[in-house]
Amino acid sequence: MRKIQFSLLLLIMISGSVFAQSVNSEKSNADFKPHGKAFAKVFSDFKYEQSQPAFEITRAYFGYEYAFSQQFSGKVNFDVGNPGVGGLQMTAYLKNAYLQYANDNLKFNFGLIGTKQFNLQESMWGHRYLYKSFMDQHGYGASADLGASMVLKLDPALSVDASVLNGEGYKHLQRDSVLMYTAGVTVKPVKNLYARLYVDYMKKTVAQTTYTAFLGYTGDKFTAGAEYNIQQGHGSVTDHNLSGVSVYTTVNVGKKSDVFVRYDNLTSKKINGATNGWNVAKDGSLILAGLEFNPVKGVKVSPNFRVWSPAQSGSNTETGFYLSLEMKF
């Protein structure tokens, strides 16, 4: 484990060296004018599940981005979501508040930053407003956290990334002195094809370790992705291991429309000869399919249906129809 920590710290030191060498380039940005913009994004839907209709606003983001120079920028983003306590009650969290340095080969973030755990998978899935990517949906990790990260481009077809994080996510900014260490490699062997390996490690009384393998394709006509995820010691509990696959594709059927389908399966380890996995109440498989329309820039509308098949014996299959909406500006 010390070797892993040393490697991550070495990568960050390398990025710091590159950063120091690049600061002087700021002096050549005489024509650059600092600028910023506000942004907003809202997810909402109408759902019909188990014969129960309901309208929802599931999430809203509000923030501001500012470019201090060609290399330095910052972002503040508030995440407003339903905490799950009923009604239309919403809770706001500070999701991002960071400074970024970026040049042609290096990107370095510090503060309350976006994590790299499932960032590429989420972009390939492309329908976050109607359903989260696999690891986000099943609690493998948070999409943002306090810490520092770097992405170093070694070649047009190869990049490495590393981060040191608080490990608690953006809703619990500091609960202890334990840190999470992450590392990833992304390869683009041929045009439009991406392969990625990722690992993270955090140890309290019990170590939690995540391993991810991803393969994705994005082109003019369709995108597709397949991921396999393992997490050992979920929640820092011995033998609380999770594993799962997610496969998805989106096919363009017009200039402003596409169709998509996705399959997920989550399983948990059976402990001490148990008949079911320790997480059986949440284990199961998902089939999700639908259409997406982009009537104007910044608006997405998707009629879609979902079938959740629980792994727990005696549980009923859950079906639902949704009309999902994303609005951003």
pLDDT of residue 177: 78
For position 269, which CATH number holds? 2.40.160.10
Q: Judge whether 309 lies within some domain.
A: yes
State how far the Cα of 75 lies from the Cα of 61, in Å rounded to an integer. Answer: 12
Average pLDDT, integer, range 99-125: 95
**Residue 125 near residue 117 (C-beta atoms within 8 A):** no
Q: pTM of this prediction?
A: 0.89
Q: Judge whether 89 lies within some domain.
A: yes
Average pLDDT, integer, range 102-125: 95
Average pLDDT, integer, range 182-210: 96
pLDDT of residue 142: 93
State how far the Cα of 296 lies from the Cα of 231, in Å rounded to an integer. Answer: 40
pLDDT of residue 91: 84
**Residue 9 near residue 1 (C-beta atoms within 8 A):** no
Q: Judge whether 31 lies within some domain.
A: no
Between 275 and 173, the higher pLDDT residue: 275
Q: Judge whether 33 lies within some domain.
A: no
**Amino acid at site 109:** N
Q: Judge whether 216 lies within some domain.
A: yes
Residue 224 pLDDT > 60:
yes
Q: In this predicted model, what pLDDT tens digit does every residue of 234-249 receive, in sequence order?
A: 999 999 999 999 999 9
Q: How many domains does the chain have?
A: 1
Instruction: Using pLDDT thresholds of 50, 70 and 90, give the confidence band for residue 185.
Output: very high
Q: Judge whether 305 lies within some domain.
A: yes
Domain containing residue 101: 2-16+40-328
Instruction: Using pLDDT thresholds of 50, 70 and 90, give the confidence band for residue 85.
Output: very low
Q: Judge whether 21 lies within some domain.
A: no
Average pLDDT, integer, range 11-33: 58
Average pLDDT, integer, range 131-148: 95
Between 56 and 290, the higher pLDDT residue: 290
Residue 204 phi/psi, 5° resolution?
-100, -120
Q: In this predicted model, what pLDDT tens digit does every residue of 150-161 receive, in sequence order?
A: 999 999 999 999
Residue in the structure block whose two tokens are 């169709």 = 259
Q: Judge whether 77 lies within some domain.
A: yes
